[in-house]
Chain A
Amino acid sequence: MAERDAYGEEQQDRERFVVRILLALVILAAILLALGWRLSGLQVGAHSHFTTLSENNRLRVEPIAPTRGVIRDRNGILLAGNRASYQLEITVEQAGNLDSLLSRLRGYLELSEADIERFHRGVRQRRPFQPVLLKAGLDDETVARIAVSRHELPGVEIEARPLRFYPLGSEFSHAVGYVGRINQQDLRRVDGRAYAGTSHIGKSGVERYYEELLHGRPGYRQVEVNAQGRVIRELSVTPPQPGTDLTLTLDVNLQQAAYRALAGRDGAIVAIDPNNGEVLALVSAPGFDPEAFVHGISQADFAAVRDDKRRPLFNRALSGQYPPGSTVKPLVALAALDEDVTTAEREMFARGYYQLPGHERRYRDWRREGHGRVDMSRAIAVSSDVYFYDLAHTMGIDRMVPILGAFGIGQHTGIDSTGERAGILPSRDWKRATHNEVWFPGETLITAIGQGYMLSTPLQMADFTAALATRGVRYQPHLLRAMDNGTGEPEYPLPVTREPVVVDDQHWDAIHGSLVEAVHARHGTAWGSVGSTRPAYTIAGKTGTSQVFSLGEDEEYDEEELARRLWDHALFVGYAPAEDPQIAVAVLVEHGGSGGRVAAPVAREVMDAYLLEGSGMTLPEDE
């Protein structure tokens, strides 16, 4: 009976068990159906969504930086090129302990605070497995020593990257400009996507003005990457389009000769071919080492250059605004002739000073004893201030301004470089607008001798001198001679003409004669330093002395410095040969003193270099 009960119990238990098993199977089937439902939702329903995410994971588009166009002078001499520069890069993912690696690297090369700082910034901004620059511009020995010890320096790679170099250095620093590492400010003025793979950008000069041409268009490669960001394979490539090569109007020999002629003094020289506006030389001294900016200049070095009293970073030729002094006298004379205020022949007795009728104030001539009887030509040649005071008083400011404006005073020339300033052409309107004051008659007098409010850049002076040479035909000064984007023949843009200065031919003759007189006549202001040495060609020119009135408010008092700083700027503008002008030159020597004695010989050297060297003509012997 008990056995039977046990059997029944067992039977019952088994039946209960089977019910439970069936229940479990049903539940399991339901769960599996739910899982299947979920999986079909992911794999069928949301398939395209997840496919997109999956592709985003594995595909990456990497930019390929284009090769920057090179810059040459008019004879094909390289001014700015690209060369392989060895730089040390670190792939952080493979480097292990960064601090220990950096301290080991100090045994191989010098690391400045700026290097380390830039490196850490790069580390924060990089993509995974993207090498970060530590130091650029390694020399061969360092490269060799690191290459030998590679196994001790995990993650360290030496990369050869094209880097800008300037074979002619500081002498072209202002003419060509320079490139530097792209910063946030730069990215605001360019399309950031085009610069994704580029490290440097034009910062000044031609390098900046023609940035778009020089840079080229980046290429792209689509790559497959793994989860760590390491490139597994390349899927497709769009090659970059290299930048356009530029040929400039500059002449290397002339530029170097101009630098030599300044002989270490601070100043600017601009030489223009008056027949087409080509800028043959563009000098601002002192220059600076443009490659320092390419490699990344340290804060301390930059501060040193920036605070240098000689201001090497300041482009005097384009940004420097100086009173043009007597160099504007030919323009004022032309205005007077054109307005029939006077004739070239009319003479006056030029004393040592001039007084406005009914005024006590004496406006002094630069020559205490005056110049005696002068006609217009002689007045220009001897640079009589009193003659021009008188002329200005008769003419008035309103009849003087238009022709000065027609020669470009107070306007940008529109040269294809950066930093150009317009200068100032003072007038009644100008004074009312800027100073809210009326114009005084005395201001007309000093305007006529290029002092007072009037300011002009050396480029403007060369520009109006070229217009004098061409009898009023004005070409826009420019630095670009040809572009070559590698797809065919180089392209030569046509010179751009501007509104000419229209004056009677006889007036031009009169002015030209006076300018030759200034150099080649015994009484001319440039006779002693230039005319008396019998140049092999005729020079037409005008000296000038630009007065330095006072110290700026923010400048510190320094006795020795002050003394030098109170010296006038020496100026000379001229063109040659006078009969068939090939070159127009403006020279400014800061605090140089007399224009005739100091600036004119500099211009002469520049003209010699252009007209004589390589042309078979020889320099005449000194008398």
Chain B
Amino acid sequence: MISVTGREMSVSQWVLRSLRLDSVLLVLLSILLLLGLAVLFSASGQSVVAVERQLMRIGLGVAAMLLVAQVSLHGLRAISPWLFAAGILLLLAVMWVGDVGKGAQRWLDLGFMRFQPSEIMKLAVPMMVAWYLSLRSGRPRFRDLLVTGVLILVPVYLIMQQPDLGTSMLVAAAGALVVFLAGLGWRWFVGLGVVVAAAVPILWSQMLDYQRQRVLTLFNPESDPLGAGYHIIQSKIAIGSGGLYGKGWLNGTQSQLEFLPERSTDFIFAVYAEEFGFIGVALLLLLYFAIVARGLWIAALAQDRYARLLGGSISLTFAVYMVVNIGMVTGLLPVVGVPLPLVSYGGTSLVTLMVAFGILMSIASQKRLVNR
């Protein structure tokens, strides 16, 4: 339960505080969530049940957001290391349980809902890195880079062991974005780029033939039209046949006739693109851009370094989700299981995102008092 507020509150105080939600962000998120429900209704083959279940998750997400929005920045910062530590323990627990019962390695069954500890890390890692950097001042130095590197790479490694490449990369991105926003010097980025560029051919030469093949298929799915390529081929057909104006809501043949796989989850963007066309797609991209921009605006006005870094990282991670998903669905990026944020069917990711927006709301309601 995320009810650690660290402070007693009367009902009237709670209502007052709740009125200090960021209205702009709230409106933008509401539009996106409602649009998502409409697309989901179509993508699920007009399943009322699917929409109801998603609505329940949205309800849960909104409740979590409202709740988290009430938490003070002081409280958030205070629990950051503890949350991080708990997340690491849960990841280890999952590995343990997963060893016993194969198959379900990512999940912990809490009785009333199943729960992915790696989701916690999507927030816990940037919170932890922001917490650490807020203790330091100035640009991150080499020592800071080492510490944050360990803070990021340990959970990333654990998540990769599950194995969940998509989530581990998003967690890495969330952590790395904090370091970037903290003003990490450009030479470090250049250095990192060089290391990566040097590592690729070495890794490649170390790989076995079938592993290389797998990597190649990842980047060129068309070479395997009935296997890995099937998804991306059908997805491109759906998007392309949508045209400028789309086939109309509930009229997308690729999705309604089930040619498009994973159409409620990872590939829901293709359903949207097929039914609403390029115009719809352009509007959706604008909506996402607006949400990210509003989040960054909130972060820019934040009270202190911790809030600033965390808010910025949350906003940009949200953008990364969206870009990776759309890039994947349009065949620009390899297919890694990243859902379209706030639109794809599925619980944990949605709740995590809403909690993140709750944090942004909290930051928004506690702007710094001194004007520039």
**Pairwise interchain contact A50-B285, C-beta atoms closer than 8 A:** no
Which residues does chain B contribute within 8 Å of A13, judged by CB atoms?
A: 137-138, 183, 305, 308
Given contacts A21-B296, A39-B273, contact A50 B236 (CB under 8 A): yes
Which residues does chain A contribute within 8 Å of B273, judged by CB atoms?
A: 39, 43
A-contact bits for B341-353, CB 8 A (1 contact / 0 none): 0000000000000
| Interface residue? A232 (CB, 8 A) | yes
Given contacts A44-B278, A51-B241, A51-B243, contact A17 B300 (CB under 8 A): yes
The segment out of B62-70, B88-96, B211-219, B254-262 that lies at the interface is: B254-262
**Pairwise interchain contact B254-A54, C-beta atoms closer than 8 A:** yes
Cα–Cα, bound, A39→B235 (Å): 12
B-contact bits for A204-221, CB 8 A (1 contact / 0 none): 000000000000000000
A residues 212-235 in Cβ contact with B at 8 Å: 224-228, 232
A-contact bits for B88-116, CB 8 A (1 contact / 0 none): 00000000000000000000000000000
A residues 33-55 in Cβ contact with B at 8 Å: 35-36, 38-40, 42-44, 46-47, 49-51, 53-54
| Interface residue? B5 (CB, 8 A) | no
Which residues does chain A contribute within 8 Å of B243, judged by CB atoms?
A: 43-44, 47, 51
Cα–Cα, bound, A50→B181 (Å): 41
| Interface residue? A29 (CB, 8 A) | yes
Question: Least Cβ distance of A352 to chain B in Å?
Answer: 86
| Interface residue? A10 (CB, 8 A) | yes
Which residues does chain B contribute within 8 Å of A53, judged by CB atoms?
A: 237, 240-241
Cα–Cα, bound, A39→B258 (Å): 22
> Can you list 5 residue pairs at the A/B interface with Cβ under 8 Å?
A17-B181, A21-B181, A36-B281, A39-B330, A47-B243
B residues 125-173 in Cβ contact with A at 8 Å: 137-139
Given contacts A43-B273, A47-B244, contact A14 B278 (CB under 8 A): no
Given contacts A43-B240, A43-B244, A47-B241, contact A16 B183 (CB under 8 A): yes
**Pairwise interchain contact B257-A17, C-beta atoms closer than 8 A:** no
Question: Which single residue of chain B is at the shortest CB-CB distance from A232?
Answer: B257
Total interface residues on B, CB under 8 Å, equals 48
A-contact bits for B284-298, CB 8 A (1 contact / 0 none): 010011001100100
**Given A40-B278, A50-B237, A54-B254, 6 more pairs with CB closer than 8 A:** A12-B138, A14-B308, A35-B332, A36-B285, A58-B253, A227-B257
**Pairwise interchain contact B289-A29, C-beta atoms closer than 8 A:** yes
Which residues does chain B contribute within 8 Å of A39, judged by CB atoms?
A: 239, 273, 278, 281-282, 330
Q: Which of A14, A36, A46 contacts B240 (CB 8 A)?
A: A46
| Interface residue? A25 (CB, 8 A) | yes
A residues 43-93 in Cβ contact with B at 8 Å: 43-44, 46-47, 49-51, 53-54, 57-58
Which residues does chain B contribute within 8 Å of A50, judged by CB atoms?
A: 236-237, 239-241
**Pairwise interchain contact A35-B319, C-beta atoms closer than 8 A:** no
Cα–Cα, bound, A228→B45 (Å): 15
Question: Least Cβ distance of A4 to chain B in Å?
Answer: 13
Which residues does chain A contribute within 8 Å of B236, judged by CB atoms?
A: 42, 50
**Pairwise interchain contact B305-A21, C-beta atoms closer than 8 A:** no
- Interchain residue pairs A-B with the least CB separation, the first 7: A50-B240, A54-B241, A226-B257, A227-B258, A43-B278, A16-B183, A42-B240
**Pairwise interchain contact A36-B312, C-beta atoms closer than 8 A:** no
A-contact bits for B261-281, CB 8 A (1 contact / 0 none): 000000000000100011001
Q: Footprint of B on A, CB under 8 Å? A: 6, 9-10, 12-14, 16-18, 20-21, 24-25, 28-29, 31-32, 35-36, 38-40, 42-44, 46-47, 49-51, 53-54, 57-58, 224-228, 232
Question: Least Cβ distance of B174 to chain A in Å?
Answer: 13
Cα–Cα, bound, A31→B260 (Å): 25
| Interface residue? B314 (CB, 8 A) | no
Which residues does chain B contribute within 8 Å of A57, judged by CB atoms?
A: 234, 237, 253-254, 257, 259
Which residues does chain A contribute within 8 Å of B289, judged by CB atoms?
A: 28-29, 32
Question: Least Cβ distance of B300 to chain A in Å?
Answer: 6
Cα–Cα, bound, A589→B236 (Å): 75
**Pairwise interchain contact B299-A21, C-beta atoms closer than 8 A:** yes
Question: Least Cβ distance of B154 to chain A in Å?
Answer: 25
Question: Which single residue of chain B is at the shortest CB-CB distance from A23?
Answer: B180
**Pairwise interchain contact B183-A20, C-beta atoms closer than 8 A:** yes
Question: Which single residue of chain B is at the shortest CB-CB distance from A38?
Answer: B330
Question: Least Cβ distance of A229 to chain B in Å?
Answer: 10
Q: Which of B181, B292, B312 contacts A28 (CB 8 A)?
A: B292
Question: Which single residue of chain B is at the shortest CB-CB distance from A42?
Answer: B240
Question: Least Cβ distance of B138 to chain A in Å?
Answer: 7
Given contacts A35-B323, A51-B243, contact A42 B181 (CB under 8 A): no
| Interface residue? B76 (CB, 8 A) | no
Cα–Cα, bound, A479→B367 (Å): 103
Q: Which of B181, B183, B239, B327 contacts A43 (CB 8 A)?
A: B239
Question: Least Cβ distance of A466 to chain B in Å?
Answer: 65
Cα–Cα, bound, A43→B236 (Å): 9
Cα–Cα, bound, A225→B257 (Å): 7
Which residues does chain A contribute within 8 Å of B292, judged by CB atoms?
A: 25, 28
A-contact bits for B307-341, CB 8 A (1 contact / 0 none): 01100100010010001001100101000000000
Question: Which single residue of chain A is at the shortest CB-CB distance from B252?
Answer: A54
Given contacts A32-B285, A42-B330, A57-B254, contact A51 B183 (CB under 8 A): no
| Interface residue? B356 (CB, 8 A) | no
Question: Least Cβ distance of A428 to chain B in Å?
Answer: 70
Central interface residue in A6, A53, A225, by most chain B CB within 10 Å: A53
Question: Which single residue of chain B is at the shortest CB-CB distance from A40?
Answer: B278
**Pairwise interchain contact A226-B258, C-beta atoms closer than 8 A:** yes
**Pairwise interchain contact A21-B300, C-beta atoms closer than 8 A:** yes
| Interface residue? B238 (CB, 8 A) | yes
Cα–Cα, bound, A35→B330 (Å): 8
| Interface residue? B358 (CB, 8 A) | no
**Pairwise interchain contact B285-A42, C-beta atoms closer than 8 A:** no
**Pairwise interchain contact A31-B244, C-beta atoms closer than 8 A:** no
Question: Least Cβ distance of A74 to chain B in Å?
Answer: 54
Cα–Cα, bound, A24→B183 (Å): 12
Which residues does chain A contribute within 8 Å of B117, judged by CB atoms?
A: none
Cα–Cα, bound, A39→B280 (Å): 11
Which residues does chain B contribute within 8 Å of A40, judged by CB atoms?
A: 278
Cα–Cα, bound, A20→B177 (Å): 10
**Pairwise interchain contact B257-A25, C-beta atoms closer than 8 A:** no
Cα–Cα, bound, A53→B238 (Å): 9
**Pairwise interchain contact B137-A9, C-beta atoms closer than 8 A:** yes
Which residues does chain A contribute within 8 Å of B277, judged by CB atoms?
A: 43
Question: Which single residue of chain A is at the shortest CB-CB distance from B255?
Answer: A227
**Pairwise interchain contact A21-B312, C-beta atoms closer than 8 A:** yes
Which residues does chain B contribute within 8 Å of A54, judged by CB atoms?
A: 237-238, 240-241, 253-254
Given contacts A38-B330, A47-B243, A51-B241, contact A10 B305 (CB under 8 A): yes
| Interface residue? B242 (CB, 8 A) | yes
Question: Least Cβ distance of B269 to chain A in Å?
Answer: 10
**Pairwise interchain contact B138-A42, C-beta atoms closer than 8 A:** no
Which residues does chain B contribute within 8 Å of A21, judged by CB atoms?
A: 181, 296, 299-300, 312
**Pairwise interchain contact B238-A18, C-beta atoms closer than 8 A:** no
Central interface residue in A24, A40, A42, by most chain B CB within 10 Å: A42
Question: Which single residue of chain B is at the shortest CB-CB distance from A43?
Answer: B278
Question: Which single residue of chain B is at the shortest CB-CB distance from A39?
Answer: B281
Cα–Cα, bound, A54→B289 (Å): 30
Cα–Cα, bound, A38→B285 (Å): 13
Question: Least Cβ distance of A35 to chain B in Å?
Answer: 6
Cα–Cα, bound, A44→B240 (Å): 7
